[in-house]
Chains A and B, each alone.
Chain A
Amino acid sequence: MKRSVEERNWLEQRNVIVCRCEDVTLEEIRRAIAQGATTLDELKRLLRVGMGPCQGRTCRELLARELAEHLGKPVAEIMPPTFRPPAKPVKLGLLSRMVENAPRGDEGSSLEGGESR
């Protein structure tokens, strides 16, 4: 059976995963935008997009493009989201062994040090 263009688009939206960490589809993103989300942070709050281990590195630009298209603005005018540390996931056990008074900006190496608990 031949599918209409609308039907094909709908199927496509429903199946395309935009945020791979949190399994969020294009359809869910478009629904949130239709409900009034206008910024990347609002999409994060509603859908957890960009809140997984990759911290939005994969989906951020795709989301910005969706918002820009819907709002009729250039991508450059979409408010950037808040970036949260840590840049890379770190185990609680490792964090608990950070040495006292590690100099600022040297957290990485102090993590390796591994003071005993």
Chain B
Amino acid sequence: MRSTADAVIIGGGVIGSSIAYHLAKEGVRNVVLLERHSFCTGSTGRCGAGVREQWGSERNCRLAQASINAFEHLEEELGYEGDIEFKQKGYLILAHTEKEWEQFKKNVALQNSLGIPSRLLTPQEAKEIVPILNTEGMLGATYNKRDGHCNPFHTTWAYAQAARRLGVELQYFTEATGIRLEGGRVVAVDTTRGTISTPVVINAAGPWAKPVAKMVGIDLPVYTQRHQILATEPTGPIIDPMVMSFSMGIYCQQTPHGSVIMGMGDPNEPKGYDIGSSWEFLREMSRLILRILPALESLRVVRQWSGLYTVTPDAHPILGGVPGIEGYYQAVGFSGHGFMLAPAVGRIISELVVGKTPFIDITGLDLGRFERGELQVEPSVV
């Protein structure tokens, strides 16, 4: 392992790997990426693999929009020989309550003003997109054809391999154990394989962002929470878009591979690091999904798992540096939608590190917003 680097990234998920690639592309090539396990073992590899730009806040919309633009050409950009399985068959977001419907009207107006081609649909129009949809009790839906699915493993691997070719050292199975500061500046990172002298460290540790931030004395206002998910056996094409309901707290999408992936947010789930699987989830998930997609009844579940959301008080990530700790940057607190924002976030963080103005304005996504009390909560989350 290198003993001196220009930057050290903590976290080998999609965020850390995207940052590694973008830093190298900016010319910062003496970079070490530290990952306690292997690539995609934290939240990335456990996520629902959805990609959408239908958000309720301008900041999330802009980050997602730029990321989808990047996903469209990612294999080419990264020189990836595999398939990241990016498909744009849309997100269909269902409204069952008046409150949702009112929010969706605002969301679509905001999205359209930013150039996102989402639209409001009647239940009948929604059924034309997903013929097996049960529209009973539905008030309407929103749909955006640019949303879709992407394979988190291949995307992360593609970023990591591209970064490696540009000179980044990928140190899997290596844990960061401490960050050394001198006079308010980052000077080194301690790891289970030795110390790396570096003026820059980037916290991209996903669910472990909080303990990593503690290494420089920051108490991040985030908590972790289990979200469960399942996959069925593959079947022929039956659902094009991601089907999602915020009031039911569920989402469901068929991957290009043919399996159907579905997950649920349980409001009673305790905070913490439990990533076990429960049979209660299988029961609740199947009950909810069969209400809106009853034709899935005979599909077999082949796998269930869970992963952690790292949630901030306003469901927006915390990006950038922190005043008083020179050389420390963070890209944390994605609140369940980090994978789909990774292309834009990687570029933004690398631009900050080299002293450029980020290509997307990230005012209000800094850590200081919580102290200032300037929170605009993202309403559209599962």
Beta-carbon contact of B303 and A51 below 8 Å: yes
Residues of B within 8 A of A35 (CB): 161
One of B124-132, B276-284, B330-338, B346-354 at the interface: B276-284
Given the known interface contacts A41-B38, A46-B157, A90-B301, the answer about A95 and B283 at a Cβ–Cβ threshold of 8 Å is yes
B:34-67 near A, CB below 8 Å: 38-41, 45
Min CB distance B230 to A, Å, is 9
Given the known interface contacts A45-B153, A46-B153, the answer about A92 and B290 at a Cβ–Cβ threshold of 8 Å is yes
Beta-carbon contact of A46 and B154 below 8 Å: yes
Whether a CB of chain A sits under 8 angstroms from the CB of B286 is yes
Beta-carbon contact of B233 and A96 below 8 Å: no
> Could you give, for residues 58-99 of chain A, a 1 whenever the CB lies within 8 Å of some chain B CB and a 0 otherwise?
000000000000000000000000001110011111011010
Residues of B within 8 A of A39 (CB): 38
Whether a CB of chain A sits under 8 angstroms from the CB of B195 is no
Whether a CB of chain B sits under 8 angstroms from the CB of A114 is no
- Most chain A Cβ neighbours within 10 Å, of B232, B277, B301, B305: B301
Query: Once bound together, how far apart are the Cα atoms of A39 and B35, in whole Å?
Result: 15
Beta-carbon contact of B304 and A117 below 8 Å: no
Whether a CB of chain B sits under 8 angstroms from the CB of A52 is yes
Q: Is the interface of A mostly helix, strand, loop or mixed?
A: loop
Closest to B160 in A: A36
Residues of A within 8 A of B76 (CB): none
Query: Once bound together, how far apart are the Cα atoms of A25 and B312, in whole Å?
Result: 43
Residues of B within 8 A of A90 (CB): 282, 300-301
Whether a CB of chain A sits under 8 angstroms from the CB of B106 is no
Whether a CB of chain B sits under 8 angstroms from the CB of A13 is no
Min CB distance A106 to B, Å, is 10
Beta-carbon contact of B286 and A92 below 8 Å: yes
Residues of A within 8 A of B282 (CB): 86, 90, 95, 98
One of B25-33, B93-101, B208-216, B291-299 at the interface: B291-299
CB within 8 A of A84: which of B257, B277, B283, B297? Answer: B277
Beta-carbon contact of B39 and A53 below 8 Å: no
Query: Once bound together, how far apart are the Cα atoms of A93 and B289, in whole Å?
Result: 10
Residues of B within 8 A of A27 (CB): none
Whether a CB of chain B sits under 8 angstroms from the CB of A48 is yes
Min CB distance B37 to A, Å, is 9
Residues of B within 8 A of A112 (CB): none
Given the known interface contacts A84-B303, A84-B305, A98-B279, the answer about A91 and B297 at a Cβ–Cβ threshold of 8 Å is yes
Beta-carbon contact of A93 and B297 below 8 Å: yes
Beta-carbon contact of A95 and B286 below 8 Å: yes
Residues of B within 8 A of A41 (CB): 38, 41
Beta-carbon contact of B302 and A52 below 8 Å: yes
Beta-carbon contact of A86 and B304 below 8 Å: yes
Query: Once bound together, how far apart are the Cα atoms of A91 and B170, in whole Å?
Result: 41
Beta-carbon contact of A96 and B257 below 8 Å: no
Beta-carbon contact of A92 and B279 below 8 Å: no
Residues of A within 8 A of B170 (CB): 36
CB within 8 A of A55: which of B40, B41, B302, B305? Answer: B302
Whether a CB of chain B sits under 8 angstroms from the CB of A12 is no
Whether a CB of chain A sits under 8 angstroms from the CB of B287 is yes
Chain A interfacial positions (CB closer than 8 Å to B): 35-36, 38-39, 41-42, 45-46, 48, 51-53, 55, 84-86, 89-93, 95-96, 98, 102, 107, 117
> Which 4 residue pairs across A and B have the least CB separation, nearest first?
A93-B297, A89-B300, A96-B286, A45-B153
Chain B interfacial positions (CB closer than 8 Å to A): 38-41, 45, 82, 153-154, 157, 161, 170, 172, 231-233, 257, 277, 279, 282-283, 285-287, 289-290, 296-305
11 extra interface residue pairs, beta carbon distance < 8 Å, beyond A42-B39, A55-B303, A117-B287: A42-B38, A48-B257, A52-B233, A53-B300, A55-B302, A84-B303, A86-B302, A92-B301, A95-B285, A95-B286, A96-B286
A-B contact pairs, 14 of them (CB 8 A): A36-B161, A46-B154, A53-B300, A84-B277, A85-B303, A86-B302, A86-B304, A89-B300, A89-B302, A91-B297, A92-B289, A92-B290, A92-B301, A96-B290
